[in-house]
Structure 1
């Protein structure tokens, strides 16, 4: 097998072609390069003009003299689309090198072209998937995270700009959980990591300003071909408003715990609350002894509600969890 036969075999197997252009702008093409352009070597003469004609209009550069290839390699360097005579569209990657003569002067330009259509199609598919992935994250409105097979968080695809992002990595997320949900969340996560069962739990998560918000955290395993867990893909969705949504606050009964908390937020003493409401200190103390709703006349309850509301306090009666109190937002 001669060298020309080896070149032909390589071009056929790799979808490649070679061209050469001398200082006068005269070109030579290999059989493989003719094939890349979809041209018949017996019907078309090699030329820079013919290459330009085959390049997709959107990728085609300005008309230049082929002799400029000696000094301007970018004329045919890089990736571009070509349109074959039968209308087929192909992506080509072309790499050029200037070869020098014995005097150190440019003698010719050698180009190697590869058909990268398959890689481009794969890249397009990956790009579409990435865009869908990003759109899905926006629609869900949550923080996406990736965990290792042993349960450590390794990446936050759409949460890297969070001021507290670094605190999530590894096992750091555990310290951000509210202490009342921490043990249950960790126990559930450990069980999922060990069994491969999907993980789903609701918990409060500490924010950068040290307040807490409710999240629904869900994760599923991503497996290898042998069924082993390669990593975990999870999303944490903020459901604080849902959790703390007020259910008929006008008819909900205030609890003693809410009264204590509201007075604490305002830093009022019992005497100060009594002065603002006209309710005796003894009655207020007795009402605050209850954690749940104490027995009190509707008039008393409405007076307390009004005074606290005027002071900027909001009473919450969530669908799940205990009644709560917070400054009005």
Structure 2
């Protein structure tokens, strides 16, 4: 499963990494490693800090701790060193994955290059005098950078859009500003009212606006963009202009959707494989049973195929439920011993099917540890060995029947390994040849019991 997830994450067109609930990095994908020149072994624990600009590291660590503390999605910004030594700005979006009881089991994060956007924002913050003196150069710069740049008057009327904006929308500067400067027909229909409402609030409050919207390209295709608008104020604090940048985040959104789809696919795999699989917390309390398990024991009978318990599984079931009464104590003792040892283990027991019939299963458990060596979860499987057990019982009965028949018929059997000379006897032969049980048997000793003629 982990190998499959790694392949999926390595295929994503984004820099992706994951961390344990305590914040320790436990995976970086191929794009992350290619950019930084650091592999997973080098970034474990705090090794990833080597890729962060020292000026940004304290704030980044503080932001990461705050996100971990609140347990909610968040973002951070910092400059990261590329493999050639160049630093570029990245926004790091972090989001937790939770288990059935709401506990965080993993953090997923995507690093998005926002270096050009940061440069654009820095350019927009320059004072009015410098903007006037360098207007031509600034215009050229703004028209060249691959982000949307626009300005608005205090009432929200568009007064300028850069070349990237014009090319993307398929509109001229004259079409974008002036009388039509307050309208924008290129938003996805479902995003229009949301964007307009947020823009009205920003204009009334004078507070910056950040919103994600889908924008129609000249060819009719919609792509996700992050629109950020900030006010420019005069010395009296009045808003005299709004500056806006729009960054294409469609690839990032697709990467996030791919991550969600990957998680869903992994769930389908676990519930589809013809094995009863489960997981438990470090204390051994059950946390998850796949659909094969739930169906076998009857928990999901009468429910939809995607049924999931409404509360913690420990309220419904435990690993010894449905075990044959004669096997419960032995299985429970083995499970307690495995938990105490912290090592993999296995046991055999009969498990009751939903129709009341018992079948033999091989119970196997294996611990998952964090970077500090602490067990964070147990994974296990139940494998049906009923056919094998029946065959073993049949073999035992056959061997017992053969032994009894030889005893009654005063017969025995032996095997002779020619290569080694080793001779193995059945018990009756010791009695027939009048050898002491357990005596080493050789050809010479056998010959000593044969009549000379």
TM range (shorter): 0.3 to 0.5
User: 1 or 2 for the larger relative contact order (CA 8 Å, sep ≥6)?
Assistant: 1
State the TM-score, normalized to the length of structure 2: 0.32
TM norm structure 1:
0.42
